[in-house]
Structure 1
Amino acid sequence: MTTIMEAPDNIGELVQNAGCKYDWKARLSALEELRKYDCQQSRDVIIRLALHDKVYKVKEEAFRAAQAFGLEKNGRPINLGRKDIGYKSKDFTKLFLKVKRDKKMDELDLALFKETFKILNPEMYDVMSFEKGSKLDNWIISSYKSLPKD
């Protein structure tokens, strides 16, 4: 693949999509486009995603792009590191209890719960929708059932 040594015309849009915390597909798509260009803005975005993205697939692809460009952070090569979504079980418990309390849910209403989850913490929802994939609903149901009783 050949790299273009100048910034694309839509660099602002690509940078904005790469920073979209609530849509990992948009970040991945922007990354795929940015890796074709060798300009300072694309390098900055690639480094940021390789170091800080919570969706491992995005982080891994950014890491590969950083390796291809030979990018470094503070004079050191970028390491992929191990998978870490950045959330602990207590973070989920706290959010689930907040949704349950705010929506006065005695029984789980999955659609309402997911809608509220997206509003309260879109980044967490995005990460978990990637991590759990088609099993997201089952994870929400089992996590909800295991919440501490009042």
Structure 2
Amino acid sequence: MGNNTIKTELPENYEELKKAANRTASWKSRYDAVVELGKYNHSQVKDILRTRLANDPVYKVQEAAFQSLLDFGEEAQLPKRKKFELVKGANKVFVRVKKSLPKDHTFEEFLTKLKRMRIDVYDTYEGDKGDEFKTWLENEWSNLK
């Protein structure tokens, strides 16, 4: 029995996976949970996957949910990738974090404070931007008024 075998019962750690799939502060936890849940073709699992597909701010998580639903033979549509504001009001969050710091603060200080104040925003953009994240955020930060 290979790893790609799809089972029809709920996984033993279903409650744990369900929590992880909805963890706003960690796109990696959501992604890993979606991948693991993708091995179980069960109506409760499909509900979680549909929610992640429709609502996850990180496209990689949406793609994983989409692929699992297709693997189950379900009809599903991958939403268009959001280009700009992944989290509603994110720019206001960046401005608020910047204004909460001394005028001469460094980008690293901004990064640390953003992570502390709004881990959900930090995490979503980190998940979306991948390796480009810090470069992208530093550019955003330097353009904030």
TM-score by length of 2: 0.84
Q: Is the 8 A contact 2:34 2:65 kept in 1?
A: yes
Partner of 1:56: 59
Alignment coverage as a number of residue pairs: 142
State the distance in 2 between where 1:64 and 1:99 align: 36
Partner of 2:103: 106
Partner of 1:74: none
**What is the correspondence of 1:34-113 to structure 2 with a 5 Å cutoff?**
34-71=37-74, 77-84=75-82, 87=85, 91-103=89-101, 105-113=102-110
Secondary structure at 2:50's aligned position in 1? helix
Note closer, same or farther for the CA distance 1:146–1:14 as it changes in structure 2 (3 Å cut): same
TM-score by length of 1: 0.81
Q: Which runs of 5+ in 2 are unaligned?
A: none
State the distance in 1 between where 2:88 and 2:73 align: 38
Note closer, same or farther for the CA distance 1:7–1:53 as it changes in structure 2 (3 Å cut): same
- Percent of aligned pairs with the same amino acid: 29
1:32 to 9, 30, 35: 35
State the distance in 2 between where 1:33 and 1:89 align: 25
Partner of 2:15: 12
**Range that drifts further, 60-69 or 1-10:** 1-10
State the distance in 1 between where 2:142 and 2:88 align: 15
State the distance in 2 between where 1:86 and 1:48 align: 21
Letter in 2 for 1:87: E
Note closer, same or farther for the CA distance 1:91–1:107 as it changes in structure 2 (3 Å cut): farther
Q: Is the 8 A contact 2:28 2:127 kept in 1?
A: no
Measured after TM superposition, the shift of residue 22 of structure 1 is 1.8
Letter in 2 for 1:26: S
